[in-house]
Structure 1
């Protein structure tokens, strides 16, 4: 095909002065926190929560619990379908860097790439496609997520992505409120107690089409398991600090966004059914508009349909029909 689906990557620092870019998905955790009268205090408290959680897990030679802090960059990846400079904002993830304050040079250590996952096409799939087909709870068409999965794999296997990051992303999300999770005897020194469930959720299957498999772990002193989506071996391919950076970042966001699951007053038991109607939880001091987030997902899904899916339908269909990860790698080697 003549089209190249050119990828590009931009970075913006997530700190107390962060302001969302014009093309940022406003449903993202970090964008939602950065609006309104409380924006700067929200950001300051969120970053403090992340740093405190990191230090609570990185305890070696850290007696005061203040040795490390995280620098977080928002990674925005765009795809230019026709190679004409008209780039579509495809996904946003987070990249962390760990700062060791007990060294004279404030040594910088690689943290995780991935963490949060924000996607306009995912909004379209879940907020436009499923309702338009009248899909009931956990129902979906057979090809649901096919295009999104192939676009994602095209991005992470591109030379542009590999030039920026030396590892594949690990996406860390909330567990599903539609499934029951069972504690196993497997305990990882960083990730904590592993949980399992009997069948995939619709989200798990969606991420599987991105080439990602899922494992569930509840870190030490955490209230509920987190879902870790990874293309490789989660336990072998990543350093302890990378894993801790993912836990501290995403568990903090989930405590803000889903306190009924991650900021409860008692931890998950041997058999665990997450529920947003659970009442025994504490609120953080961080303002988060969850209702607005759901409304924006629908609006942004429809925007994606009008500005990406419909205009490029024929090109996308032909490209997806011929796409394999092997083809991407062969093209790059040529």
Structure 2
């Protein structure tokens, strides 16, 4: 398949002047904040939240808690099929690439890549294919091939020369814990990530990310009120420096406080046994506008776009690649 397509990337700085491009997945956290009349105020406040949390966690040799600033770039990954003479490119993934500026020394250190993860194919899988399968037969189980294509596309990109030349380490993706699972606090504690939680069973998202080659561990950092889910390759606790891990926590905790304040801006912290819920009413709402209903509607729109412009025109090629030549078993709604 490597001869059938090529990857390319573009980079956009995420700052208070950021505006989503025409190909950005507009349901993603940073794009949602950058829309509407309050866009610049939203962005300024979100960036301030990230920097405050970073300095709170990186508190050594930082008496005024203003030593560090987090810089974020949006890396957009596009795919072009070699058989397409027009050279059309499909927007595949978007991730955040973080750097940490030391204001005392002027030194910039690389943080982590990944963090926020956006994917048009994932929108198709969860907002188009999965509902279609559920509607087709009552109580239908999630098929074994669910997420196969997305997983192979992601791992192909990670193993590409393009990724290896730009990024020195595997990504760390950080999202909310699942509202469908119960979490239990363990005795394991990391100096940056905090106390570890384990869950009663893997979620559908865990299985989906596993096909991307990523394992999950859940930690609640110092000062947080709920654990975050970290998806990673390799050794999460030892492959990254403290400042790298702090960059992920500070950035993604800020996004989750804005996107899911019922969980991440609750007025009481998770206990030893924890079941996250969006029905929780005792929480504080950040002064950042976020349209969660619009996000849900647009996910379906973007999934349909993926079906029309990616799945349908390239169905045969994608099926051959994912299955090694055989048709996908039970495939009724695209790859």
Common fold: TM-score over 0.5: yes
Matches within 5 A, 1:58-69: 58-69=58-69
Counterparts of 2:211 and 2:122, CA distance in 1: 12
Task: Kindly indicate whether residue 146 of structure 2 is the aligned counterpart of residue 144 of structure 1.
Answer: yes
| Deviation string, structure 1 residues 284-316 (Cα, Å, up to 9, x no partner) | 000000000000000100110000000000111
Quote the residue 1:304 is aligned against: 306
Correspondences of 1:3-152 after superposition (within 5 Å)? 3-82=3-82, 84=84, 85-103=87-105, 106-134=106-134, 139-152=141-154
- Asked if structure 1 preserves the Cα contact closer than 8 Å seen for 2:133 and 2:140, the reply is no
CA deviation profile, 1:238-260 (whole Å, cap 9, x unmatched): 11111000000000000000000
TM superposition shift of 1:138 = 10
Question: Per-residue displacement from partner, 1:169-224 (whole Å, max 9, x unpaired)?
Answer: 11000000000000000000000000001210000000000000000000000010
Q: Which runs of 5+ in 1 are unaligned?
A: 324-334
In structure 1, what is the equivalent of residue 332 of structure 2?
none
The verdict on how the C-alpha distance between 1:275 and 1:66 changes in structure 2, with shifts beyond 3 A counting, is same
CA offsets 1:106-151 (integer angstroms, 9 cap, x no match)? 1101101000010000000000011101178994111100000000
| Cα distance in 1, alignment partners of residues 193 and 277 from structure 2 | 22
- Judged with a 3 Å threshold, the aligned counterparts in structure 2 of structure 1 residues 277 and 254 are, in CA distance, closer, same or farther, namely same
Conservation of the 8 A alpha-carbon contact between 2:57 and 2:246:
yes
TM-score by length of 1: 0.94
1:326 matched residue in structure 2: none
Give the match for residue 217 of structure 1: 219
State how many pairs are aligned.
Answer: 321
Cα RMSD over matched residues?
A: 1.5
Q: Secondary structure at the match of 1:265?
A: coil
| Unmatched segments (≥5 aa) in structure 2 | 326-335
Deviates more, 1:165-174 or 1:76-85: 76-85
The 5 Å alignment of 1:175-194 reads 175-194=177-196
Equivalent residue for 2:328? none
Task: State the alpha-carbon separation in 2 of the partners of residues 124 and 272 from structure 1.
Answer: 31
Once residues 80 and 261 of structure 2 are traced to their aligned partners in structure 1, the CA distance between those partners, rounded to angstroms, is 38
Question: Does the C-alpha gap of structure 1 residues 205 and 2 become closer, same or farther in structure 2, counting only changes over 3 Å?
Answer: closer
Partners in 2 of 1:168 and 1:310 — Cα distance?
A: 31
Aligned to 2:266: 264
